[in-house]
Structure 1
Amino acid sequence: MRIIIIEDENRAAHRMQALIEELRPEAVILDVFESVRESIEYFNTNPNVDLIFADIQLADGISFEIFNQIQLKCPIIFTTAYDQYAIEAFQTNGIDYLLKPIEKERLQKALDKLESLQTDQNTEQIGKMLQMLKQEDHKKRFMIKVGDRIRTIETKGILAFYSMEKATFLYTFDQRSYAIDYSLDQLQDLLNPTDFFRISRKYIVSHMACKEILAWSNSRLRIDIPGLDEEVIVARERVGDFKNWLDN
């Protein structure tokens, strides 16, 4: 059995490796990846694995971003620190979901369970699992590069996302813009729709950015975001949905 581990905490990754080696000594751990980006790069050229262990929250995003972009047929065991009720709900889909710290007995049951499943069942169940995860979890932070340093920005500190000259930027409460490696289309799927709204092809805004809104030409609206020189316009066809989003 060929296994990939996706985990950005060294201690958790080492524990997982040790438990797998103890419970399935015949298994081969092909590699351990710490990020969404590394995992996608690997699976683009090496899709043939038998089992994946994937932590939900990684330094550069959420692991189901990987499986949205790469179509894999192998089973996945997700690991996280969600509350027990959510875990039980996911287990009913036949793909396991382990609470950290991982217990040996619980991992043994997960491996036994997955080995009894058929591949076509796995494919369908992975899709169901990812859909449930989308509903339960949204991106909470972004990794950015500032000079030779890497830092993270919480989504609660972001006023808007915008595209300019084929690049995407986030704009923060302290009126700074940072380039990120996501398109607005991708962000629309990753962000919590309660907090963020796509107002046009060029902008996604936070409800915290919508303090000053003006009527604009052609039945559009303009949002005045402090420090942002660009005109932030709500597209005419989005005005109705935008007002409903603000009201709710």
Structure 2
Amino acid sequence: MNAIIIEDETAAVSSLKAILEHNNVIDISVIAELESIEESVSWFKSHPHPDIIFMDIHLADGSAFKIFEQVEIGSPVVFTTAYDEYALQAFQVSSIDYLLKPVTQTSLERALNKLRLFDPEERKAHIQNTNSTIQNRHTVKSLLIMLADKFYPLPVEDILYFYTSNEKVTAYTSDGKTHPVDRTLDTLNEQLDEKIFFRANRQFIISRKAIKDIDLWFGSRLSVNLTLPVPERIIISKTKTPVFKKWILLEEG
């Protein structure tokens, strides 16, 4: 059985390959290792699809779910992630499984046993369900904010950036106010419009309209300056810099 791995962490790829090689369920040969959304989409458009895909959800250039929005995937998928969030649970019904990192022999063999039990028609239905579910996702237009004993809707278009600290996420709006958000940056990154918002690093998601200018930074990195004060400097890593440059040149619409 042929497999591909979509993962941007070298250590995670090596670990998964080692476990696959020694699993006791199915003989698996890894035929490709892909690191990004862009590379994966290109690969799927030019190669026969494998028997199974192991896909990390959080890649350097965005959420792996965006791959499904650009190409029809013809293989069962096992998602891998370091985060156990409700958004991922929703996708569990249409994927073979999702495995929390670090992936273990037991969890991987559980996923492979699920795959082995599928007959051809069930596998086809699973693939169609996965593609349909992900392609029909809608981006969030507003967030429900809880303050004391009241709730209020906050339009996403008014938010200039999200910042996380001490496991708390705050939205900063154009009127200078702050709003506590009951979602992680990882969840928000999956739900926000990628043309408008960019996951700068582990602390920030920034809006295109909030960007004032950009400085070159040490080590081939970038420092992003916004139109309003921020709790700490916003640094774009060397790995994310090409993705950010491409994003900043995109036109909304």
Q: TM-score, normalised by structure 2?
A: 0.55
- The ranges of structure 1 where at least 4 consecutive aligned residues each deviate by more than 4 angstroms after the TM superposition are 84-89, 131-136, 151-154, 181-184
Residues 85-234 of structure 1 mapped to structure 2, 5 A cutoff:
86-117=87-118, 118-130=122-134, 137-138=190-191, 141=198, 154-156=204-206, 158-159=208-209, 173=226, 179-181=245-247, 203=252
- For residue 104 of structure 1, report the CA deviation from its aligned partner: 1.4
What does the per-residue CA deviation read over 1:195-227, in whole Å, with 9 as the maximum and x for residues that have no partner? xxxxxxx657xxxxxxxxxxxxxxxxxxxxxxx
Q: Alignment identity in percent?
A: 33
Question: Unaligned 5+ residue runs, structure 2?
Answer: 140-186, 212-223, 229-243
What does the per-residue CA deviation read over 1:66-119, in whole Å, with 9 as the maximum and x for residues that have no partner? 121111221011111232655544333353111111121111111110222233
The match for 1:16 is 16
**CA 1:39 to 1:126, structure 2 compared with 1: closer, same or farther past 3 Å?**
same
The match for 1:71 is 72
What does the per-residue CA deviation read over 1:107-156, in whole Å, with 9 as the maximum and x for residues that have no partner? 1111110222233212222125525876652357457xxxxxxx999433
SS of residue paired to 2:206: helix
Q: TM-score, normalised by structure 1?
A: 0.56
Largest Rg, 1 or 2: 1
Question: Unaligned 5+ residue runs, structure 1?
Answer: 144-150, 162-170, 185-201, 205-248
Bigger relative CO (Cα 8 Å, ≥ 6 apart): 2
Measured in 1, the distance between the counterparts of 2:248 and 2:66 equals 11
**Does the aligned pair in 1 maintain the 2:26–2:112 contact within 8 Å?**
no
**CA 1:98 to 1:155, structure 2 compared with 1: closer, same or farther past 3 Å?**
same
The match for 1:27 is 28
The total of aligned residue pairs comes to 169
